[in-house]
Amino acid sequence: MSHRLAGEGAIQRERTLAFTFDGRPLTGHPGDTLASALLAAGVRLVGRSFKYHRPRGILTAGSEEPNALVQLRSGARREPNTRATVVELFDGLEARSQNRWPSLALDLGAVNSLLSPLLVAGFYYKTFMWPAAFWEKVYEPAIRRAAGLGRASTEPDPDVYEKAHAFCDLLIVGAGPAGLAAALAAGRAGARVLLCDEDFLPGGRLNGERREIDGQDGAQWARQVGAELAGLPGVRVMTRTTVFGAYDGGTYGALERVADHLPRPTPHQPRQRLWKIVARRTLLAAGALERPIVFGGNDRPGVMLASAVRTYVNRFRVAPGRRTAVFTTCDDGWTTAFDLLDAGVQVPVVVEARQQVSSVILNEASRRGLRIMLGSQVLDARGGRGIRSVDVRDERGRTVRVAADALAVSGGWNPNAALCTHLGGRPRWSEAIHAYVPADMPPGMIAVGASAGELSLAGALRTGTQAGREAAEAAGFAAAAVQCPHADDEAVGGTPLWFVAGCRGKAFVDPQHDVTPGDIALAAREGFDSAELLKRYTTLGMGTDQGKTSALNGHALAAALTGRAPADLGTITSRPPYTPVAIGALAGVHRGPDFRPCRLTPSHRWAQSLGATFLDTGEWRRARAFPRAGEVDWQPTLVREVLGVRNGVGLCDVSTLGKIDVQGADAGAFLDRVYANMISSLPVGKARYGIMLREDGIVLDDGTAARLAPGHFLLSTTTAHAARVLQHLEHARQVLWPQLDVQLASVTEQWAQLAIAGPRARALLERLLAGAIDLSNAAFPYLACAEFAWQGSPARLYRLSFSGELAYELAVPARRGEAAVRAAMAAGESLGVVPYGLEALGTMRIEKGHVAGAELNGTTTAHDLGLGRMMSDRKDYIGRVLASRPGLTAPERPVLIGIRPVAAQARLAAGAHFLRLGARASLANDEGFVSSVTFSPVLGHWIGLGFLSRGRERLGERIRAHNPLAGGDVEVEVTHPVFYDPDGERLRG
């Protein structure tokens, strides 16, 4: 039998939507939430509680819902723990209850209820302690299986998410009467206004009430204002959008549920959009949340907040129960009784905790023939899977049982001040409304309406209008004299009750985490009696509802138990997000291949066409190797490429290395101060290797400096440190020595740079450059550099070698990089040119003992790296002083050495640690570590570089490379780090 009422409401009866709940087909209308449609169909039981598996129903009509958590959809879009009260119904919606087995009606988990004396708060801390070994293998897996409510999908999310930025003069959080009035005042003045509301219908509480504004129906007024706002050019109204967090600098996070209410998003539509909003001013117009009262059976299906009952009746035209009793401690609760009766629903009794109420209320009650009990309290709501009666203790102490299938409860109202506390500001206690009101606001934010403790509709309209006007003026817009809308009168008195003493049935303070008054009492007994400690010990308020309907009741109970006033406990501050935010929305488009931008080299497409393998190193995607058909794994490819370079000629894209252009009259002097070695003495047309130290004496980076003109240098850095080095140089230029005449520019992107290396490199280049530059050894010796024109554009050539062979680096403008590579390959075809990548590059530099990122790891000095002789004693430079600290020059410091395995075919592993033969593997005996390893095609076995205490005095010694992480212990011989061509003859050919 349907619980649907006649009358208009905010639903569209002409259309019917079909949905299922636990497989059962049901119907609703557009404008329904899942909760309202379930109630209309007479479904009260929607879930089982977390710990005790108590039957649970729908408590509220909003996002503060603690109980009605359901799972929506199936397959890849399955979504657990969604509050049925905020789900916009759509045709084909599939919903399922959670945390029950085998079914919602018969849940075996309910046996936990019998164990409740054991499962009190804090039992986790006390129970699973012994034996210690059981924790990891027994207890933790069991708890993990029992924990949580819903189950997330493990399939990839088929939806896309987006992020966007918004800027405004005024951000208004909440489109209820206060927010709408403020938006109107500010928007009409011309300010940029952003009005956000989590609901799909603006209006806030107006949609659930029968109030009048300016003589018309409140909900109607809201729609009319909405239409006007839509026409104001500077105003944007965003419904289905929750402002979930306040952050520094007037920045707010908001989540727009773009397509949650559709079976699937339309093409190009994101499922959700995350907004970063920067607002000059913000109004918190988020209203207030009604308080439940704690009494026996207060968690049973059928017990609801009084204002929620009104919302279901007035907005959704649903009667949650056919016989609905009302339990209230404030004037507002009576409105529910009147609205129910006027809608044709039976109200067997209104139980009012106060001894007296106003005569206006009494008259309204008697006019409707309402049975009332003053000075009375509900002791217990009775029933199994839904209430059937309530036990009331009247003012004389007698217990009266009243038949009812629903109970509307009103314990007063709490201003919804969560957003104000996100930056740490604490609210203050208001005796007037017995609740916390915002204080110590984030800069630029004020609260209006019920959020500020102004609980009447007239107060909301007044404070909203005024704040909107002031915000517009602050932004420089003259606010026209805006008439404040006029509301009908109402009564807003009340006295809090918090909890009912003497209940028989189990009562719940925090229904989502099954926290009972007994838990609160236990916490108080054990000394956890401040608001923060109470929360942590009992988990009060830690659920997805974050204690919106439970925190203050819990504090009041703890206060009463310890003889204090609720305000004495202090209160908790909230953290973002206000309601849960999907991780997908936080990631936006940055998932999978779009996780981070990927920098591509100028030759990338060409390398792809050759079937190269790639490696993502830092920001760049670089070619790793160019395997040929038949090469089964990396080793044959590596051997072919390395020997191809060393015996012929190879080609490698080295564009990723940082390139910094340094100009100015003081360029040389500047570079002398940042490099450890002399740079100003470099002749024009020559390059030199250089190392830069950090201020603390550790090596920052190594690279080259080339002098193209007296006041023009070109520096190269490692790929990984390019940005860091430029930052370091800019700091030196702008802050340390602003008096020097030097200008820096990054030209990493401007130039494609190709390394051409091997004994036939000169021959290749002569064919490629066709006389554009004299390449003879006399004209262009080792370390020469030059600028010239080639094929109609500028080019540069450097004779530098990382591989140890005769080598050049050719730089051309980046757009010509691919063409240059193809031309070089063509020029080198008859010379047997091999393209090579990171793998071969790395192997060859290890063979030559060149240090790279693994050695320049932020802990090594020039001395450690064997580059101490580069440190000039003729000048001062960054790092000079601290590099000579005793700790950095101690003789036992590990220094760079080479290693080779004693057993010829043994493999080496980077990261292994050095121990003397026979020494026990312990930190005390640790003598250093292996930094880089490779298989050497030239030598035919593995080699490595590493750091060994007093290493240079121990050449020839045999030690162990011990690898506790991956296993393995290899005996190695200590060698000089340069394995190949130690005199550098091949370089200078």
Cα–Cα distance measured from residue 925 to residue 838, given in angstroms and rounded to the nearest whole number: 35
Number of residues interacting with another protein: please give it, by CB under 8 A.
Answer: 47
Task: Report d(CA 591, CA 744) in Å as an integer.
Answer: 35
Q: Which strands sit side by side in the sheet containing 350-352, from one edge to the other?
A: 303-305, 406-410, 324-328, 350-352, 372-373
Residue 665 near another protein by CB under 8 A: yes
Answer whether 394's CB lies under 8 Å from 313's CB: no
Binds another protein (CB under 8 A): choice among 224, 239, 269, 680:
269
- Using CB under 8 A as the binding rule, whether residue 78 contacts another protein is answered as no
Give CA separation, 793 vs 512, 775, 789, in Å.
Answer: 71, 19, 5
CA angle 162, 168, 174 (to 5 degrees): 80
Contacting another protein (CB under 8 A), which of 605, 822, 952, 988? 605
State the nearest-atom distance from the C-beta of 41 to another protein, in Å.
Answer: 36
Q: Please select the residue that binds another protein; options are 76, 105, 108, 164, rule is CB under 8 A.
A: 164
Give the residues across from 167 on adjacent strands.
278
Least Å distance, CB 240 to another protein, is: 16
- Based on the shown chain and the rule CB under 8 A, indicate whether residue 926 belongs to the binding site for another protein: no
Closest CB to another protein among residues 7, 794: 794
What's the closest the beta carbon of residue 158 comes to another protein, in angstroms?
16
Stretch that binds another protein, among 33-41, 303-311, 734-742, 920-928 (CB under 8 A): 734-742
- Minimum distance of another protein from residue 30's CB (angstroms): 24
Q: Tell the smallest beta-carbon distance from residue 814 to another protein (Å).
A: 4
Token couple for 252: 């707010």
Q: Which of residues 813-832 bind another protein (CB under 8 A)?
A: 813-816, 818
Rg (C-alpha) for the chain, rounded Å, is 38
- 790 φ/ψ angles, rounded to the nearest 5 degrees: -145, 125
Residue with smaller CB distance to another protein, 251 or 544: 251
Shortest spacing between CB 602 and another protein, in angstroms: 8
The minimum distance between CB 118 and another protein, in angstroms, equals 51
Q: Indicate which single residue of 211, 281, 291, 604 sits in contact with another protein (rule: CB under 8 A).
A: 604
Q: Interface with another protein includes 138 (CB under 8 A)? A: no
794 binds another protein (CB under 8 A): yes
Give yes or no for residue 369 binding another protein (CB under 8 A).
Answer: no
Considering only 249, 424, 597, 967, the residue that binds another protein (CB under 8 A) is 597
The residue (of 721 and 893) whose beta carbon lies closer to another protein is 721
Distance in Å, CB of 725 to another protein, minimum: 17
- The tokens describing 33, both together, are 């939430």
**Nearer residue to another protein within complex by CB, 188 or 310:** 188
Using CB under 8 A as the criterion, what x/- string covers residues 687-706 for binding another protein?
A: --------------------
For residues 251 and 430, the answer to whether their CB atoms sit within 8 Å is: no
Per the DSSP assignment, residues forming a β-bridge with 576 are none
Task: Supply 653's token pair.
Answer: 């894209």
> Does residue 192 belong to the site contacting another protein (CB under 8 A)?
yes
List b or e across 125-142, with b for residues whose CB sees 16 or more CB atoms inside 10 angstroms.
eeeeeeeeeeeeeeeeee
Residue type for position 20: T
Q: What residues pair up with 165 in beta bridges, in sequence order? A: 276
Q: Which of 912, 907, 945, 942 is nearest to 927 (CA)?
A: 912
- Residue among 508 and 751 whose Cβ is closer to another protein: 751
249 in contact with another protein (CB under 8 A): no
Question: Closest Cα to residue 328, out of 407, 430, 400?
Answer: 407
Only segment of 445-453, 483-491, 657-665, 920-928 that touches another protein (CB under 8 A): 657-665
Residues 224, 229, 232, 237, CA torsion sign: negative
Of the listed pieces 598-606, 860-868, 934-942, 981-989, which binds another protein according to CB under 8 A? 598-606
Which residue of 110, 119, 120, 278 would you call a contact of another protein, by CB under 8 A? 278
* Closer residue to another protein, CB minimum distance, 265 or 759: 265
Are 194 and 168 in contact by the 8 Å Cβ rule? The answer is yes
Of 91 and 157, nearer to another protein (C-beta) is 157
Least distance CB 836 / another protein (angstroms): 21
In angstroms, how far is the first alpha carbon of the chain from the final one? 98
Binding-site member from 264, 596, 885, 958 for another protein (CB under 8 A): 596
Among 363, 562, 635, 750, binds another protein (CB under 8 A): 750
Work out which of 741, 774, 829, 953 binds another protein, going by CB under 8 A: 741
Largest CA distance in the chain: 116
Q: In terms of Cα–Cα distance, which of 972, 971, 899, 889 is closest to 932?
A: 899
Q: Which is nearer to another protein, 276 or 724 (CB)?
A: 276
Measured CA to CA in angstroms, residue 886 lies from 857, 873, 891, 951 at distances of 20, 18, 9, 18
| Size of the chain, expressed as the number of residues it contains | 989
Pick from 110, 119, 120, 166 the residue near another protein by CB under 8 A.
Answer: 166
866 near 848, Cβ under 8 Å?
no
Q: Are 826 and 820 contacting, i.e. CB atoms less than 8 angstroms apart?
A: no
**Can you list the positions of beta strands (E) in 110-202?**
161-173, 193-196
Under the binding rule (CB under 8 A), the answer on residue 663 touching another protein is yes
Q: Is 162 in the site for another protein (CB under 8 A)?
A: yes
Handedness of CA 730, 731, 732, 737 (dihedral sign): positive
Report the C-alpha gap between 428 and 446 in whole angstroms. Answer: 14
Asked if 745 touches another protein (CB under 8 A), the answer is yes
β-bridge partners, 328: 352, 410
Identity of the residue, 73 or 276, whose beta carbon is nearer to another protein in the bound complex: 276
Torsion of CA 591, 592, 597, 600, to 10 degrees: -170
Residue nearer to another protein on the CB measure, 355 or 793: 793
Q: Among residue numbers 389 through 428, which ones bind another protein (CB under 8 A)?
A: none
Query: How buried is residue 759: exposed, middle or buried, by Cβ count under 10 Å (0-12/13-18/19+)?
Result: middle
List of residues contacting another protein (CB under 8 A):
160, 162-167, 192, 268-270, 276, 278, 589-590, 594, 596-602, 604-605, 620, 661, 663-665, 739-741, 743-745, 747, 749-751, 793-794, 813-816, 818
